[in-house]
Structures are given as C-alpha cells and as structure tokens.
Amino acid sequence: MTTQLTTDYLIIGAGASAMAFADIIISESNATVLFVDTRHKPGGHWNDAYSFVTLHQPSAFYGVSSKELSKGTKDKVGLNKGMNGLASGAEINAYYDDLMRETFLPSGRVQYFPKCRYTEDGKFVSLLTGDEFSVSYKKLVDTTYYNTTIPSTHTPGFDIDSSVRFMPLNDLPSINSPVPGYTVIGGGKTGIDACLWLLENGIEPDNITWIMPRDAWFLDRKNTQPTPDFFFDAIGAQADQMEAIAESESIDDMFARLEKAGVFLRLDESVWPKMFHGATISALELEQLRRIKNVVRKGRVERIEPHHIVLQEGDIPTTTDIVHVDCTASAISNLDISPIFAGNKISPQTVRSYQPVFSAAFVAHIELQYDDIEKKNKLCKVVPLPNHDSDWVELTYRNLMNQYFWSKEPGLKDWLKNNRLDGFMRLVASVKFYEFEKLKVLNRMRKAAKPAIAKLKQYRASLGTE
C-alpha cells in the first residue's frame, strides 16, 4: 500500500543547499516543506566527509540564514591563525542535525524522510523498509542538480593494481605505522587538505609526492573575512579586482594584475595555472604547501602499477609500500546550466560566485516574492561554477550583472543587508560618512565597475561565451 502525503514544497535532498532553501521558506512564509533524502541525517555530503575537513570560507556566512554557525571568534593557532573560524565537519553535521530537530520539525510545517530514494512523479521509497510514498505537491525543488561527489564514495577514473596501497584521504587518520612515502593524486581542494594534513602530522615534505594535473589559481582567504577589522582586506580586494580588470589589456594580463594585487595566489610562481575552482587558502597554508618539492605535472593518472604510475605525459616510479591518496573526486560533476525556475520545478544553482548556500537562500526568497517565472529567472541568472582559468571571466561577469540587477530591485537590497549569508553587504553598509579611508575604497570600486564590466564583455566575446 502506498502512503499518501501532501506538501507545498517537495525538496529532493537534505544537504546544505536544501536546508538553506527550506529555512527561507519556513522563515518567510507559512508554506509546508517535505524532505526526501537518501542519507540518514541532514547535511548532505558533510555526512561522508573526511574527519579533518573544515570549511574553506569563514563560518560566519555558511549554513542557513536563521541560525548562526560561527562562534564569533578568530582562530588563535594553526594555519588559519588570526582569521575568522572555519567550522569542522563534525560541527557542521551537528549544526544541521540540531537545525532539523530543534527548528524545522518543531515548526509543524516540515516532514522529513531520511533513508528514502525519490523515484519520479512525487513518489519515493524507503531504502530500509521498501515502503512506498506518494506526495501531492505544488513545487518540486531538486537540490541534487549539481550531483556532488565526495572522496569516500568516489570511483577513480584510472586502473589500480591490486597490490598497490591506495585509499581516499578519508582513510589517512587510520594509518598507524610509518610508511616510506605518500603520493597525493589531485590538485584541488581535497589534494590541498591531504597535503596539509600530512605536513601538520609531521611527514617530511620530501616524503610527499603531489601529482597535480593542473595548477590552480587560489583566492586569499584573508580577503574573504566578513568582519569590520578586515574591511580593507575584503572590500579593498574587491576594489583591487575591479581596477585590475578595468586596466588589463588581455586575459593573461588581467590574471597577472590580480595576482600582483593579492587577489589571486598560486603555488609556483614559475607555473602559469590553468585551473580555477575558487579554492581559498591562507598565506600560512601556501607557505606549507610550497615546502613540497616533488610536484608532478605530467597530466592525469592513467593507471597505477606496482612499480610505476602511468600518466598522460610520462611515468614516475612508485612502490607497493607507498600510500597513494585519492583526491581526484570532483565536488561538482554536473556543470551544465539550466533555468532555475521551470514550470513547477526549481533547481537551485549558484547565483553568486562560490556561494551555494547563499544562492539557495536567495532563490527561495525570490520564489516567495515573485510570481512571474521570467522575472524570477532574470533575478536568478546562474553564475556558472568554474573549472578552467578562463571560466573566471564568465563567472565574474555574471556575478557583477546579478549584483547590478539586484541593486535596482525594490526591497532586495535590504534583504541582502540583513541576511547573514551575505558576507559583505553589511560591511559596506556600515561605513560611516566620516570614515574617509573606507569611503575611498568604495569610491575606487564604484569608479572601476563600469570599465571592468566592459572589459569582461570584451573578453567574453574573445572566448566565445557571449
């Protein structure tokens, strides 16, 4: 027998974006919400993250709008010293669990079905009992659109000989005896985390080989701090970015200017990065990573054999005693863009660069405030997730255009200023008329904005993305 249910918003998934979306629906309307999620607890991929994972951005603007995640303190030790705290995976999991149990469910307007798989047409089934459910709903919210992948459940895209010691970075803390060396495979955020964990736990940098198919541009985390004492870093970096774009003569020149201004960082100043995933890094972390000299730049791994690793551009030696750490999972495996609002279906995607939870909350607010789908999609133009370095052009252009349209929309500016997931609106709005140095920074940013947008349009045309 099929159990019949009803709700206003049927949300597929209960991860970070789903929770941020639902939080706005619950806070700003009387609508009802029903979650269907394959995992046993809310929090999505955080449930399966490696034990030493932390946020790469300050906790102050992560989570949901109505509930603070940050402790309001700065780190006193470690590689993030002096900056706003980065929540650990355990803290984030507890945060979402508490949110569901203490806020969402007690509201009486939320139904939650963990360990269930959505099939189609409002139907889902329990993975534990096989019980079937059918939901009558007004809107379907698919927060699984990006198809996030994680190291612990990722299948590598290369062959591995059975004699090779190979593991996801989740398993690093389980190692209890010395090994002759570690080979970290992957140059993204998880690769960075694996290398830093090894260094912080006393592994000599010469005992680490880092296979990096592509070097990446990084963002300086100091420039992402949303508190007043970092105004000249955070807002100053935005002004520097505008000026670097406006004054540049080519895309490469723009990146060089962004690096010179301290907006971008890179691992090796002799290697021009070809990747940009929006990873943030501190100066102390970068200093540690630069201690690793055995960086292999021979393309992607094709297979790992007992005595050598075959890459696209050559082989390197290895042994069966070396621990090979898989960091090749891509956080996002679906980079296609589709309209966020389509009929009675909503597919939350990023409408601000690097900010999926803010974006989900914003999409929910627009859903509640407007009836016309064309208007909703105009205000929620997707800011595509980047992969290649040149993707930064499109990402930045769309981000700036969204900010422009939002600034023209009645009431939206106040919502942004009062929403805690917006890391910088309040910082800008807090500037007093007598704070002349801060006003100079804001004027620099405003003055460079139009020329920067014009230059980005020019670069988009050269890339064929207009």
CATH of the domain at 6: 3.50.50.60
Boundary of a domain, candidates 326, 358, 392: 326
Quote the pLDDT of residue 55: 94
The mean predicted confidence, pLDDT, of the chain is 95
Residues 206 and 317 in one domain: yes
Percent of the chain with pLDDT over 90: 91
Domain range spanning residue 203?
A: 152-216+269-326
11 three-class SS: strand
Query: Residue 294 is encoded by which pair of tokens?
Result: 């055995």
Write down the pLDDT at residue 349.
95
Output DSSP code: residue 101: I
Q: Are residues 57 and 202 in the same domain?
A: no
pLDDT recorded at residue 337 = 80
Last residue of a domain, one of 294, 309, 326: 326
pLDDT number for residue 332:
56
Residues 108 and 144 in one domain: yes
86 within 8 A of 95, measured Cβ to Cβ: no
- Distance separating alpha carbons of residues 381 and 368, to the nearest angstrom: 17
pLDDT beyond 60 at 183: yes
pLDDT at 448 over 60: yes
Average pLDDT over residues 76-101: 96
In a domain, 186, yes or no: yes
Over 90: is that where the pLDDT of 451 sits?
A: yes
Question: Does a structural domain hold residue 116?
Answer: yes
pLDDT score for 152 = 66
Q: Is 437 a domain residue?
A: no
**What is the domain count for the chain?**
2
What percent of the chain is modeled with pLDDT above 70?
98
Residues 173 and 130 in one domain: no
Q: Would the pLDDT of 416 be above 70?
A: yes
Name the token pair of 308: 């050598």
- The whole-number pLDDT of residue 351 equals 97
Are 322 and 204 contained in the same domain?
A: yes
Residue 147, token pair as written in the block: 């198809």
On the question of pLDDT at 247 being above 70, the answer is yes
- Structural domain contains residue 143: yes
Residue 61 structure tokens: 């603007």
Q: Are 65 and 48 in contact, with CB atoms under 8 Å apart?
A: no
pLDDT tens-place string over residues 248-304: 999 999 999 999 999 999 999 999 999 999 999 999 999 999 999 999 999 999 999
Task: Calculate the alpha carbon distances from 180 to 2, 172, 240 in Å.
Answer: 57, 14, 45
Answer yes or no: do 45 and 140 share one domain. Answer: yes
Question: For the segment 3-29, what is each residue's pLDDT rounded down to a tens digit?
Answer: 999 999 999 999 999 999 999 999 999
Q: Quick one: 185 and 165 in the same domain?
A: yes
Q: Is the pLDDT of residue 420 over 80?
A: yes
CB 424 within 8 A of CB 234: yes
Question: What was the pLDDT predicted at 319?
Answer: 97
User: What would the mean pLDDT of 20-45 be, rounded to a whole number?
Assistant: 97
pLDDT tops 60 at residue 187: yes
Confidence check: pLDDT of 221 > 80: yes
In contact, 145 and 334? CB cutoff 8 Å: yes
Higher-pLDDT residue of 156 and 14 is 14
Q: What is the predicted pLDDT for the residue at 335?
A: 60
Burial label for 110, CB within 10 Å (0-12, 13-18, 19+), is buried
Q: Which two tokens stand for residue 290?
A: 């630069």
| 421 found inside a domain | no
pLDDT digits (tens, 9 = 90+) for 123-151: 999 999 999 999 999 999 999 987 666 77
pLDDT digit string, tens, across residues 387-413: 999 999 999 999 999 999 999 999 999
**336 exposure class (CB count in 10 Å sphere: 0-12, 13-18, 19+):** exposed
pLDDT value at residue 149: 65
Q: What is the pLDDT of residue 331?
A: 61
3-state secondary structure of 223: helix
Report if residue 255 sits inside a domain. no
Q: Is the pLDDT of residue 159 over 90?
A: yes
Give yes or no: residues 172 and 315 share one domain.
yes
> Is 371 a domain residue?
yes
Checking if the pLDDT of 160 tops 90, the result is: yes
- Sign of the C-alpha dihedral, residues 249, 252, 254, 258? negative
Q: What is the pTM of this model?
A: 0.95
Query: Which pLDDT belongs to residue 106?
Result: 97
Give a yes or no: residue 406 inside a domain: no
What pLDDT does 370 receive? Answer: 96
The reported pLDDT for the residue numbered 330 is 73
Whether residue 366 is found in the same domain as residue 316: no
Is there a single domain that holds both residue 375 and residue 356?
yes
Are residues 131 and 196 both part of a single domain? no
My answer on whether 106 and 23 are in the same domain is yes
